[in-house]
Chains A and B, each alone.
Chain A
Amino acid sequence: MDFSSLYVKEGRAISKAKGALLIAESIPGIQFNEMVDVRLGNGEVKSGQAIDISEDATIVEVFGGVSEVDLVGSTIRCKGETLKLPVSNDILGRIFNGMGEPIDGGPRLIPEDYLDINGEPMNPALREPPAEFIETGISAIDGLNALVRGQKLPIFSGSGLPHNRIVAQVIRQATVKGKEERFALVFAAIGISYDDASFFMRDLERTGALERTVAFINTASDPVIERISTPRLALTAAEYLAWKQHMHVLVILTDMTNYCEALRELSSMREEIPSRRGYPGYMYTDLATMYERAGRISGKEGSVTIMPILTMPDDDITHPIPDLTGYITEGQIVLSRNLERKGIYPPIDVFLSLSRMMKEGIGPGKTREDHNNVFMQSYAAYAEGCYLREISTIIGAEALGERDKIYLTAADEFERRFISQGESEKRTVENTLDTAWGLFSALPEEDLKLIKEDFIKKYLPKYRK
């Protein structure tokens, strides 16, 4: 038996408490990033983490803030390990808080293993490129920005836009063609309102998805610092389900803007040199260490697909949060306030949206042979129409030539018939592609330059029987 583990290291000489930080005399043997308990004079215990250790001092970040900490009576007790999530088979169907403790009234887990919440980087040489198409039943996603297993595809939204409804629709409808496999959902609510969190939980319950879901809930009123651990706990649970239980896991993280705000708050408390708009310079790396946990491993069953939601402050896509996210994720689904005002649901801006992994997931045997051509032609035609719409606001639609008028109408039709659809309407990918072909028939046939001639003969409605 290792007797040293019975010896609990404790530090008493706390010299400074401010914001979420405690500075104490050096605690011998403490590990970098080790979890500690801060025992207050009144007997209350708070969790914390050592974020800077040296022979001079130990700096501890306290989860939940340092309120009621007194410099004399408080002690810091080391736990001898970094933050870990207990996992087991029974994790499905459970709800936890941002520290990984159950809040659904159920019993504690009997852990099979404790996993470090930071995970380990996946060896890029052993990754399997994502290539399995996930049919979400939403045309603007399936047709133009297809999601594949192992991808990380965020939703860039704005406050008041229906991102929650769209994500709930994706959760309800997402399937992989022709496969019956073990599927799980990991849901992390990060600093969102109680109402938003319960919207999701109710929807999951209603559709019976709750029993294959693991949820980590940190609402707006919960401690800010736990927003840092919430997504990491969720991803750790996802990795456990994917790589140990061989499941296909979809992770929903909402709202990552709150996460980044928490990161900024913490960074300024640590008195670090800020980068753009006060966010820390390591925010890219910090986000990347989470998003990169998506993927597939060659020779292993299972996958982790991540769909984070973030609200762009002031709808500004160049704001550091969406900007850095866009550099990490494999594309983005951007929601547009303009389309929303026009009454179009889902209001997906197809120009700003992009799925980098799409080309691997579509085509013969996966969706349909004409998918890529239809995708390119739709973009070209819609772009042309939108450009003409812009011009026509100045010179009037009457001043346009005949060909231009056709494109102008086609753009409106594209929004009304292709992008727009019902909240419970599930379109198969064939259905989505045929809708696009229906719109192409209004265009001059020689303008369909981006489509192979055989496909035109095969799919254009006028050649079909």
Chain B
Amino acid sequence: MGKIWRVSGPLVIADDMKGAQVYEVVEIGEEGLVGEIVGLEGTKAIIQAHEDTLGLKVGEVVRGMGRVLSAELGPGLVGSIYDGLQKSLLTLGENIGPFIKRGAKASALPRNKKWQFTPKVKAGDAVSQGDIIGTVPETNLVEHRIMVPLGIKGKIKEIRQGDYTVEEPVAWVEYNGEVKELTLMQEWPVRKPRPYKQRSDPSGLLTTGMRILDYMFPLALGGKASIPGGFGTGKTVALQQLARWAQTHLNIYVGCGERGNEMADVLSSFRELKDPNTGRLLQEKEIFIANTSNMPVVAREASIFVGITMAEYFRDMGYDILLVADSTSRWAEAMREMSGRLEEMPGEEGFPSYMGSRLSSFYERAGMVKCLGSPEREGSVTVAGAVSPPGADFSEPVTQNTLRIIDALYALDVSLANKRHFPAISWLTSYSLYVDAVKDWWNEHDPGWEHTRAGALRILQQEAELEEIVRLVGPEALPEGDKLLLLTARMIREDFLQQSAYNEVDTYCAPAKAGLMLKTIMKFYELTQEMLNSGAGMESIRSSAMVYRISRMKDIPNEDFEQKVKELWSEMEQSLVTGKRVP
């Protein structure tokens, strides 16, 4: 128990704090604002306040809580909306209305709700940390597996079946004569990665329904990706699309220092949209963290770590989880603000020198692992973080530090966005190091993948080179072969890479459809090259009805696609070749 010695924005220094530890949670002042100790100096504790410090006085009380910042984990997480400190925003809304007053408290998991618990082990069974002792059907899409908390082992003395709240004991474990109660809920310090048995390499495709990702720059389960882009390039829409359609067991959307209206938009769309495979509402497999830009700065860091901790917890149940964070730059800025107040020696552009390691401590928690405990299971956390570089200049420190950690880059391009080419992911600067990791997956589903992908990327690269010549001599002065290449490249760009997030059909493109779409364009290129060789002119190719038909492929629903595209191919074979071939 200490008292406030100094207040300067989110920085509070408290005196008489002997015995406190770094990262211990404190309650500041009479209102009990949440803060975290970031440093100790003699009897003084340096505290970052997670809530607005307006109106605090020197001498007010500061209470150490004797624990570090932790997340509550248990049934009730799925479908919830939290702030950066894992307070339930809907509960806060019910209690205090539409504006958030500081110091207001709300627990993460509902305390009065009963969950139907079905045991998977029986009395007398030996259990240890990570073992699944039972399940709770949390939503229609997520079965919550109750695990033995870390550090507990022994023999099950008693286990019950029935409806329980998260605080009521459901099982008793005995070890060396000591009996411990297990509830449906546990806690975990957010800055500490949850342990696992063994780490494996990312593998298997994380299906996103976005063609440029799935087909061109795939993301593997357990991978880490970054989406940097200037304002208006569609970072948020791209991340929302990922969170909507990624074929995982559960997605976590962290809105860190971003717009409130967009958050409202995401929330309302998840209440309406349905998962393409199960037909259930998307919010049944989603957790939201909303720490908008006007909410306290320091809580941005907490929001990121609370998110990744929840992701790891569900990973430990043997699930594949995707976490998207929009935007990590806001978190980095929060670090900069705090570091400035602490008068630390600044690194590049005022960011603290430890920013790089802090960012890695988040991204490195992604991965595919063999989980602790029995039964044997594998889970993964995939992370995609947005970066908002000032002036869309990728040489700035946050982007550069992020690039050192991640293995897939989806670079958003301002000029593409200005032309309204969405998603504005540049095919020239983006990359994915997971091509090998997903090769097996693709070979199983679409044997020609590597070949088609490489061919299309080559055409796009050649287009970029030709583009420079066109700027000097004009498009008409090119040889016919190059004109055809430009036409094909344009078709790849407009009819394949461009994908509308707002078109009901196009918003989710199954990988099988994506493959067939690109193959159709490549087939068109092959056939028309033959036409050129046999003396046909570019005009007849450009005016072919097939060009228009191909541009409408996007509108064909996933289910009918294979049938429809076969018809298209046979038409192409007839109309693009017949009568034009020289004997």
Contacts and interface: CB of A to CB of B under 8 A. Distances in A.
B390 A276 contact: yes
A123 B101 CA distance: 10
Contact of A32 (B55, B101, B340, B418): B55
A124 B392 contact: no
Contacts of A319: 391
B293 A323 contact: no
B392 to A, nearest CB: 7
A128 to B, nearest CB: 7
B99 A351 contact: no
Contact of A327 (B261, B294, B388, B470): B388
Nearest to B388: A327
Nearest to A144: B420
A256 B260 CA distance: 21
A168 B262 CA distance: 28
Contacts of A285: 257, 293, 297, 333-334, 337
Contact of B7 (A54, A379, A380, A383): A54
Nearest to A270: B8
Interface in A399-447: 399-401, 404, 446
Interface in B312-362: 330, 333-334, 336-337, 340, 346, 349-350
Contacts of B58: 26, 28-30, 53-55
A356 B476 contact: no
B195 interface: no
Contact of A55 (B6, B92, B99, B297): B6
Interface in A97-120: 116, 118-120
Given A53-B6, A274-B350, A284-B293, A121 B99 contact: yes
Contacts of B330: 284
A173 interface: no
Nearest to A332: B232
Interface in B1-23: 5-8, 13, 15
Contacts of B582: none
A24 interface: no
Contacts of B92: 123, 125
Contacts of A151: 261
A12 B267 CA distance: 53
Interface stretch (A189-197, A198-206, A286-294): A286-294
Interface in B135-170: none
A28 B60 CA distance: 11
A126 interface: yes
Contact of B350 (A122, A123, A125, A281): A281
- Interface centre among B15, B54, B336, by most chain A C-beta atoms within 10 angstroms, is B54
- Interface centre among A122, A127, A274, A404, by most chain B C-beta atoms within 10 angstroms, is A127
A331 interface: yes
A459 B59 CA distance: 72
Contacts of B548: 446, 449
- Interface centre among A276, A324, A356, by most chain B C-beta atoms within 10 angstroms, is A356
Given A29-B57, A125-B93, A399-B476, A292 B231 contact: no
A82 B474 CA distance: 65
B98 interface: yes
A8 interface: no
A121 B477 CA distance: 59
A32 B57 contact: yes
Given A54-B5, A123-B99, A327-B231, A320 B420 contact: no
A134 to B, nearest CB: 15
A399 B477 contact: yes
A360 B295 CA distance: 25
Given A31-B57, A55-B6, A292 B551 contact: no
A243 B97 CA distance: 12
A161 interface: no
A294 B474 CA distance: 48
Contacts, number: 218
Interface in A30-62: 30-34, 51-56
A288 B293 contact: yes
B475 A404 contact: yes
Interface in A225-250: 243
A83 B520 CA distance: 66
A327 B548 CA distance: 37
A157 to B, nearest CB: 17
B551 A31 contact: no
Given A31-B57, A400-B476, A275 B336 contact: yes
Interface in A305-330: 318-320, 323-324, 326-328, 330
Contact-residue size bin, chain B (C-beta under 8 Å from the other chain): 35 or more
Nearest to B294: A292
Contact of B54 (A30, A118, A123): A118
Contacts of B264: 124, 127-129, 295
Interface in B92-150: 92-93, 98-102
Contacts of B349: 275-276
A6 interface: no
B418 A55 contact: no
B81 interface: yes
Interface in B44-84: 52-59, 81
A394 B349 CA distance: 40
B81 A125 contact: yes
B112 to A, nearest CB: 20
A208 B583 CA distance: 81
B419 A121 contact: no
Given A281-B333, A395-B474, A352 B261 contact: no
A153 B470 CA distance: 37
Contacts of B364: none
Contact of B297 (A150, A282, A300, A324): A282
B541 to A, nearest CB: 13
Nearest to A444: B543
A213 interface: no
A123 B390 contact: no
B219 to A, nearest CB: 25
Contacts of A152: 261
B333 A124 contact: no
B53 A32 contact: yes
A319 B59 CA distance: 42
Nearest to B419: A383
A120 B100 contact: yes
A33 B55 contact: yes
B239 to A, nearest CB: 14
B399 to A, nearest CB: 14
A33 B54 contact: yes
A376 to B, nearest CB: 7
A176 interface: no
A332 B417 CA distance: 14
A52 B4 CA distance: 12
B476 A272 contact: no
- Interface centre among B53, B260, B292, B349, by most chain A C-beta atoms within 10 angstroms, is B260
A57 to B, nearest CB: 9
Interface string B242-269: 0000000000000101011111110110
Given A52-B7, A295-B261, A31 B293 contact: no
A394 B471 contact: yes
18 contacts: A31-B56, A31-B57, A53-B56, A53-B57, A121-B99, A121-B294, A121-B295, A124-B267, A275-B350, A284-B333, A292-B260, A323-B230, A379-B420, A395-B477, A400-B474, A400-B475, A404-B475, A449-B551
Given A274-B350, A324-B390, A357-B261, 14 more contacts: A32-B56, A55-B15, A123-B89, A124-B81, A124-B263, A129-B264, A285-B337, A295-B264, A318-B393, A323-B231, A354-B232, A391-B470, A399-B476, A449-B548
**4 A-B pairs with the lowest CB-CB distances in the bound complex, closest first:** A54-B6, A318-B391, A288-B293, A127-B264
Interface of B: 5-8, 13, 15, 52-59, 81, 89-90, 92-93, 98-102, 230-232, 255, 257, 259-265, 267-268, 290, 292-295, 297, 330, 333-334, 336-337, 340, 346, 349-350, 388, 390-393, 418-420, 470-477, 494, 502, 548, 551-552
